[in-house]
Structure 1
Amino acid sequence: MLLLAATVSQLAVATFVPGIDRFAGKAFGARLAAYPLMMLAVPAAWWLRQRATRRHAPAPWGAFALIMVPFLVDVTGNTLDLYDSVVWWDDLNHFVNWIPLSAGVGLLLTGGLTRRWQVVLLTAGIGALLAICWELGEWYTFIRHGTELNTAYEDTLGDEALGTTGGLVAGLLVAFGRRLPDSAP
């Protein structure tokens, strides 16, 4: 809950405190609505599945935290003005943030898989899909009618490639960090 609170409090400042230039034109009102929902979607889905199947497994808090961390990092990067003051910050985030995001989802979805290649491909594929969805969201919220339209195509392709690569790294970390049977290469 600390990750959620830290993210929401920064989003609230960005949305409701006037005159802070680093937040101007970056869709913080939309982020204030969307980020908490995205951060809570997986825990809510897990809880609903537990309830529907009448299971009482302990919550995978580590996986939930991995999924939430990138949202906090993104907002903190804006709060510290890193997107505008550090040229490579956006690219770094599209790679690095996809590692915990994809790893968290991978940990939740690959528990029944017995082959490392299956874990890598599923986790990397999820990372790639999330990178595409993220870029569609960026386009819809602040590129299509904004000042970045002329460079958006190149940036979008680069961001998708970096997110996909982060998803692949996450897949490798999940696959090789998990104990799989010796017969499962």
Structure 2
Amino acid sequence: MTDADGPWTAGPPRTATPFGKEPVGAYEQTFVPHLGDAVRLATLLAIPAAWVISGPLSALTMLLVCGGTWLTRYYSRTRNEDLAGSVVLLLGGAFSVLGTYKAIDWLDLVVHGLMLVILTKLLTNMLVHHEMLPAAEDRRQAAGILLAVTSMGVLLAVLWEIGEWIGHTFINPEVGVGYDDTLGDLAAGLLGALAAALWSHGTARRSGSA
């Protein structure tokens, strides 16, 4: 691979279909079930279960998780990526509903970091798919895109903390906030964002050398 064939270089043009641009992932235009869809079914069933266990706010959490798993189905580049993302989203929501974060202190940071990996990678895939993230012409530009993807993940982490503060202040005071909690979450989010950027970098390198 030459210097000009670095990560995020433009591949062959996508063809138009009745559904819009041809997906960049591992999916056909027709619906072909796979293991990740079992996770999506579980998240759908978890919505009413969360309402029964913890009330409407928890049900809303699982509704958002369910929507996120469908985004991973369409925008993930492989089925394994889709499955991993869906499992992380489901576990993150389920732990919140069941109060597991309060029982296991360190679990919040671990899941927070993993969630930021998935969300940052998902956002990157979406931007690439809709041609909003430019192709890199050389390694210097690829490094710039790596920094941009990491920055997007950090922004997601900050927005997450703002959302937690809004939830604590206006909806449910039991939502965890505080100086230590916020700094810990932001640090985990930064690591997750960096991991997602490196993941995207590696995926683009493999695609460019294929």
- TM-score range (shorter-chain normalised) is 0.5 to 0.7
TM-score (norm 2): 0.60
Give 1:166's aligned residue: 192
- Give the letter aligned to residue 122 of structure 1: A
CA distance 1:38–1:95, shift in 2 (3 Å): same
CA distance 1:60–1:178, shift in 2 (3 Å): closer
**CA deviation map 1:60-80 (0-9, x unaligned):** 454655654432121232466
Give 2:169's aligned residue: 144
**How far does residue 40 in structure 1 lie from its aligned partner after superposition?**
4.0
The structure showing larger relative contact order (alpha-carbon pairs under 8 Å, at least 6 residues apart) is 2
**How far does residue 144 in structure 1 lie from its aligned partner after superposition?**
0.9
1:12 to 48, 52, 65: 48
CA distance 1:108–1:118, shift in 2 (3 Å): farther
Counterparts of residues 23-172 of structure 1 (less than 5 Å): 23=54, 27-40=57-70, 60=77, 62=79, 65=83, 68-78=86-96, 81-110=99-128, 112-114=134-136, 115=139, 116-141=142-167, 143-145=168-170, 146-148=172-174, 151-172=177-198
CA distance 1:60–1:172, shift in 2 (3 Å): closer
Instruction: Report if the CA contact (8 A) 2:61-2:93 is conserved.
Output: no
Instruction: Report if the CA contact (8 A) 1:10-1:79 is conserved.
Output: no
Count of residues in Structure 1 that have an aligned counterpart in Structure 2? 162
- Structure 1 portions without partners, runs of 5+: 47-58
CA distance 1:149–1:36, shift in 2 (3 Å): closer
| Whole-angstrom CA distance in 2 between matches of 1:75 and 1:6 | 12
**How far does residue 88 in structure 1 lie from its aligned partner after superposition?**
0.5
Runs of 4 or more above 6 Å deviation: none
**CA deviation map 1:89-110 (0-9, x unaligned):** 1111111221122223323434
Instruction: Report if the CA contact (8 A) 1:125-1:167 is conserved.
Output: yes
Instruction: Report if the CA contact (8 A) 2:157-2:189 is conserved.
Output: yes
SS at match of 1:35: helix
CA RMSD of aligned residues (A): 3.4
**How far does residue 39 in structure 1 lie from its aligned partner after superposition?**
4.2
Instruction: Report if the CA contact (8 A) 2:113-2:188 is conserved.
Output: yes
CA distance 1:42–1:73, shift in 2 (3 Å): closer
| Whole-angstrom CA distance in 2 between matches of 1:65 and 1:87 | 26
What fraction of aligned residue pairs are identical, expressed as a percent? Answer: 24
| Whole-angstrom CA distance in 2 between matches of 1:150 and 1:83 | 10
**How far does residue 38 in structure 1 lie from its aligned partner after superposition?**
4.3
| Whole-angstrom CA distance in 1 between matches of 2:49 and 2:57 | 13
